[in-house]
Amino acid sequence: MKSALCNLPAESNGVFRASVVLINKYRDFERKLAKHVLTWVVHAKVDLTVTQLQDSFAMQETSKGENYREHKPPEDLVVSVGAGLIIKESEKGTLRLIHESAKEHLLRQNIMLKNPDLEMAKTCLTCLLVDETHDDGKPLFLSYAASHWISHIGKNCRGADEEANVAILNLLSDSTKLSRVFKAIPGSLGYGLSDITGLHAAVYFNLRSHAEKLINTRFNVNARCSNGQTALHWAVKLGRRSLSKYLIQNLADTNIRDNFKDTPLHVALKESVMDNIGIVQNLVAGGAKLNIPGALGLTALSWAIRYGPTAVAEILLKSQNDVNSEISPGWTSLRELFYHDHSSLQPPGSSAHRWTSLKDAVEQHVRYLIDVVLDRGANLNLATSDGWLPLIHAIQTKSPSRVQRLLEREPLPADVNKRDLKQNWSPLRWAFSYISPDIARLLIEYEADVNEKNDDGWVPLIQAVREIPLTQVARDKYEDIIWLLLKKGAHLETLDKEKRPALFYAVKSRNKNILWLLATAGSNSNASIRLHSNMLLDLALAKNDYSIAWLLCEHGADPNATNEGMTLMHRASRFGKLEDVNFLLDRKADVSHRDDAGYTALHLAVLGEFDTIVAELALGASRQGHLEVCDRKGNTALIIATLKRRTSMVQMLLHYRASCETPGHKGLTALHHAAKLGFNDGLRMMVRMAGDVNLRDHAGYSAVHHAVMSNNANTQTIDILEGGGADLNARAGRKELTPLMLAKHLRKHSFVSQLQEKAISRRRSNAT
């Protein structure tokens, strides 16, 4: 018969009827077992093993499952009573119908239990209520009974009779048995937990009516199981909106934290369950607090902002009594939103397209929620307890669109000049600090203080000029900012802590565009250039940038401006910078100006032995009539050149009509010094140019006397002086000594001999 059944066409009924007839001929016990086995094989939610069917039959045979093992039928009988309608799967060990059409035939026959689901549910409940203290082991049927009794009895136990309802209430009232039940359901919410209450179980199995009965008996609605969760935690986790609302209405505490520190609201946010929004609304309406930290240290509001969904986050944001309150120290909802927008980095291995899509979604989420917070009246100018401000954060994260959103918000826009509390920096300063020209421009356009004062001397205009980037695009943006700063009234004359104006840094960077902007900014630009002429021109000349120096002079720079008594011409002459000298001469610089030591530029050039510069300055001084200016010691440039025995310089100075007769210290002229030094090359040129070679110093000595008194002069010196018309008999000093008398007095024998010979020669000449 079994072989025939296996090969039977689906539409055939004959063999099935034969099996039914055979079953009806069984004795009472075998017939009862056959009905049980066929019922469970047909209506079970999963395939059952022979052992599970043995246990289920034994449970059905006892009222409370006591000593159920005594009622277990033999294993081979469980299969054989099926009269060939069931077979055992060799691999799984489970039973199934011999053919798929057998179920239809069996349902038409009065061969299975009446109201099978109810009877199966009650059998499952009997198994669940077995007193373990009277049992030497757990039935293998327990896992099926625990997992599927509720599906047999129907939604909200609509198919339960009085006996089933009593069994359910008995189960819900026994915490030990409930722990046993959930331990038999792998992966269930209560798996491995103790102290599970009937209310937890009613929520788990979605038994609304039984939950109501428990609560009506003054059941502790906030009782916790071993992981600290209440029935409300479970209702939320399982997405039981109606039950969660009912629990809240009956004083379930929405703010109890489980052992992981999560409240029901945290659980709702973490679980992707149906009707999540409705559950969140119930919790919020029930007084759920948004500022309680959860398992990861995040408040519910923080979690919703970071991980969404957007609709839930919006509910929480709109539930805040005060949108400016801190949900954790230093953190408002607006701050959470601002940080979340840029807190994520692209995960390793993720595709660029997928990451872009995710990032776009995050940005849309945050942008929408920021509008929600702003519309609720967030105070953009109220710093958090640790000093955080929205506008400065938007600047630091380089978000021009967000900066603009905050500045244009009406009413109560962000204060464009509101400084942070830690560093006392303005938004504009932060924009420059983060090298964000687009944001800086926005701030200036929205009336940032372009002349703000800072203790460290920081100035917007100076910062913009001194931090010019290298790339052309960025440089163009900074030039636009500088133009805008000037347009908004930035003061050119303001100095930084180094006492330097913006013009200084324009010259330093050699940026002619910016320098031109500053130089043509308005009526005060020339005044500022004039005020800082020496500094600006000195820097331009130091960089050998004569075009910038020219531009400065064209806009008011004074080439004669001094610094510590020295003009630019002094410095150029002192350090031998010929091109600087020529530039300054072209700009009509005054060569007669004396520094604090009394030196003119020509003096310094002579002292530095810069022949070419001496030539240029001598020409200029000659034209201006300043060749005879003396230093503090009374020395002219020619005297200094003589003292340094610089033949070429003496020649140049004499060429430009420098006088060798101008008296200096103690009345000494260049001629006196040349004679005294035995500087014969210079002396020879001077005697040709001198109007009076016998000019006396303050002591009455002539050049010849100085030559005789000197240890450096020689007989050639006397010859040169005589050739120039020097009086060899001139008397000088208190003793009225002639050069010969002086030579004898000083025992200068060579001079004595020379002068005696010249005297004899003159007498002979006179005698003839």
Examine the pLDDT at 530 and tell me if it is beyond 80.
Answer: yes
Mean pLDDT over residues 170-191, rounded?
90
Which pLDDT tens digit goes with each residue over 496-505? 999 999 999 9
Examine the pLDDT at 54 and tell me if it is beyond 90.
Answer: yes
Mean pLDDT over residues 597-613, rounded?
95
Helix axes 276-285, 241-249, angle to 10 degrees: 10
Low-confidence winner among 267-281, 543-557, 578-592 (lowest mean pLDDT)? 267-281
Stated as kind and residue range, the H or E segment containing 477 is helix 472-487
Mean pLDDT of the chain: 90
Mean pLDDT over residues 640-656, rounded?
96
Q: Please state, in angstroms and rounded to a whole number, the distance separating the CA atoms of residues 4 and 405.
A: 82
**Where does the pLDDT of residue 521 fall: very low under 50, low under 70, confident under 90, or very high at 90 and above?**
confident
Examine the pLDDT at 103 and tell me if it is beyond 90.
Answer: no
Mean pLDDT over residues 729-742, rounded?
90
Residue 16 is predicted with a pLDDT of 78
Low-confidence winner among 172-176, 337-341, 488-492 (lowest mean pLDDT)? 337-341
What pTM value is reported for the model?
Answer: 0.73
Helix axes 523-531, 512-519, angle to 10 degrees: 110
Mean pLDDT over residues 413-442, rounded?
96
Low-confidence winner among 176-180, 251-255, 446-450 (lowest mean pLDDT)? 176-180
5 contacts: CB under 8 Å, gap ≥ 6 = 15, 16, 19, 84, 85, 98, 99, 102
- Radius of gyration from C-alpha coordinates of the chain: 56
Mean pLDDT over residues 62-70, rounded?
75
Residue 1 is predicted with a pLDDT of 44
CA distances to 695, 726, 732, 756 from 743, rounded to whole Å, are 19, 16, 13, 10
Examine the pLDDT at 467 and tell me if it is beyond 90.
Answer: no
Residue 137 is predicted with a pLDDT of 57
Tell me which amino acid residue 709 is: M
Residue 133 is predicted with a pLDDT of 47
Q: Please state, in angstroms and rounded to a whole number, the distance separating the CA atoms of residues 506 and 462.
A: 9
Domains in the chain, CATH or no CATH each: 1-172 (no CATH), 572-767 (1.25.40.20)
DSSP, residue by residue, 579-634: HHHHHHHHTT--TT---TTS--HHHHHHHTT-HHHHHHHHHHHHHHT-TT---TTS
Q: Please state, in angstroms and rounded to a whole number, the distance separating the CA atoms of residues 379 and 377.
A: 6
Which pLDDT tens digit goes with each residue over 197-211? 999 999 999 999 999
Residue 377 is predicted with a pLDDT of 94
Percentage with pLDDT > 70 across the chain: 94
Residue 354 is predicted with a pLDDT of 60
The label of the residue with tokens 């009222």 reads 63
In three-state form (DSSP H/G/I as H, E/B as E, the rest C), the secondary structure along 214-277 is HHHCCCCCCCCCCCCCCHHHHHHHCCCHHHHHHHHHCCCCCCCCCCCCCCHHHHHHHCCCCCHH
Which pLDDT tens digit goes with each residue over 310-360? 999 999 999 999 999 998 899 999 999 998 865 544 444 556 666 567 778
Calculate ∠ Cα 678-684-690, nearest 5°. Answer: 110
Residue 347 is predicted with a pLDDT of 47
Q: Please state, in angstroms and rounded to a whole number, the distance separating the CA atoms of residues 69 and 683.
A: 145
Which pLDDT tens digit goes with each residue over 132-150? 644 455 678 999 999 999 9
Residue 99 is predicted with a pLDDT of 83
Residue 65 is predicted with a pLDDT of 62
Residue 360 is predicted with a pLDDT of 82
Which pLDDT tens digit goes with each residue over 355-411? 567 778 888 999 999 999 999 999 999 999 999 999 999 999 999 999 999 999 999
Residue 152 is predicted with a pLDDT of 94
The tokens for 606 are: 């002579």
Which pLDDT tens digit goes with each residue over 673-691? 999 999 999 999 999 999 8
**Where does the pLDDT of residue 100 fall: very low under 50, low under 70, confident under 90, or very high at 90 and above?**
confident
Handedness of CA 728, 733, 737, 743 (dihedral sign): negative
Residue 388 is predicted with a pLDDT of 97
